[in-house]
Chains A and B, each alone.
Chain A
Amino acid sequence: MESSPTEAPPKQVAVAMDRLSNAARLIADIRIGADRILEALFIAAQPHPCNKPLHMLIKEESSMRQRFQDLRTLGKQLEDSGVLNSSLRSRSKSWGLHMPLVCPDGAVVAYAWKRQLAGQAGASAVDRTGRWVEVEKRHDLKAKITFCLRIWQVPDRLALKAFTDQKRRYFPDLGDEPSSEESGVSKKHRGDQSSVVVKRDDLSEVKTLSDVLVRLEKEAPNVRISTYQRLDWLKRASSLSSSNENLTEPNLNKLGTVLTGNMAKDQVAVVELLIPSVLRAVISLHPAGSINPDAVSFFSPDEGGSYMHARGFSVHNVYKHITEFAAKALQYFLSTEVDMGLYLLLRWICSYQTLFTKLCSKCNRLLSMDKTSTLLLPPVHRPFRYSSDTKTSSVQSTNTQSVDLTTAFHIVCSLDEA
Chain B
Amino acid sequence: MPIKWLLHWQPNAGTTVNTQIHTEITQCAESINGVKGGRWKATFSYYRPIQRVQTMVLPPECSRDLMGISLQEQPNKLYFVIRSQRIVLEADSMIQMIMDKLQSYRARGSVTFEGYQYQLGDFQLRVGKVIPNSQDNLRGIVLEVEYLPISSLDKSRQIMEEFLDVWQETVSKRSLPGHFMHIDPNFVEYGLSDHYTSQHTAIQYVVVMGQLLVAAKN
Residues of A participating in the B interface, judged by any CB pair closer than 8 Å: 242, 244-245, 277-278, 300-302, 316-319, 356-357, 365-367, 369, 373-378
- Are A277 and B155 in touch, CB under 8 angstroms? yes
Q: A356-B155, A376-B163 are in contact. Are A316 and B33 (CB under 8 A)?
A: no
Q: Please give me the 8 A-B residue pairs with the lowest Cβ-Cβ distance, nearest first.
A: A375-B121, A277-B152, A316-B149, A367-B162, A374-B33, A366-B162, A300-B149, A277-B155
- Are B1 and A302 in touch, CB under 8 angstroms? yes
- Are A367 and B159 in touch, CB under 8 angstroms? yes
| Cross-chain pair count, CB within 8 angstroms | 62
Q: Which of B120, B150, B162 contacts A375 (CB 8 A)?
A: B120
**What is the minimal beta-carbon distance from B35 to any residue of chain A, in angstroms?**
10
**What is the minimal beta-carbon distance from A365 to any residue of chain B, in angstroms?**
7
Q: A356-B155, A356-B156, A367-B159 are in contact. Are A376 and B150 (CB under 8 A)?
A: no
Number of chain B residues whose Cβ lies closer than 8 Å to a Cβ of chain A: 23
12 contacts between A and B (CB under 8 A): A278-B150, A278-B152, A302-B150, A316-B148, A316-B149, A357-B155, A373-B121, A375-B33, A375-B121, A375-B122, A376-B122, A377-B122
Could you say which of A316, A373, A377 has the most chain B C-beta atoms within 10 Å of its C-beta?
A: A316
**What is the minimal beta-carbon distance from B192 to any residue of chain A, in angstroms?**
12
Residues of B within 8 A of A369 (CB): 32
Residues of B within 8 A of A357 (CB): 155, 158
Residues of B within 8 A of A375 (CB): 33, 120-122
Could you tell me the distance between the alpha carbons of A316 and B159 in the complex, rounded to whole angstroms? 15
Could you tell me the distance between the alpha carbons of A378 and B157 in the complex, rounded to whole angstroms? 13
Extra contacts, 14 of them, besides A245-B195, A367-B162 (Cβ < 8 A), are A277-B151, A278-B152, A278-B155, A300-B150, A301-B150, A302-B1, A302-B150, A319-B149, A356-B156, A369-B32, A374-B33, A375-B121, A377-B122, A378-B159
CB closest chain-B residue, reference A375? B121
Describe A's contact surface by its main secondary structure. loop
- Are B151 and A356 in touch, CB under 8 angstroms? no
- Are B159 and A366 in touch, CB under 8 angstroms? yes
Residues of A within 8 A of B155 (CB): 277-278, 356-357
Please tell me if B46 contacts chain A, counting CB pairs below 8 Å: no
Please tell me if B213 contacts chain A, counting CB pairs below 8 Å: no
Residues of A within 8 A of B156 (CB): 356
Please tell me if B184 contacts chain A, counting CB pairs below 8 Å: no
- Are B122 and A316 in touch, CB under 8 angstroms? yes
Q: A316-B148, A318-B149 are in contact. Are A366 and B122 (CB under 8 A)?
A: no
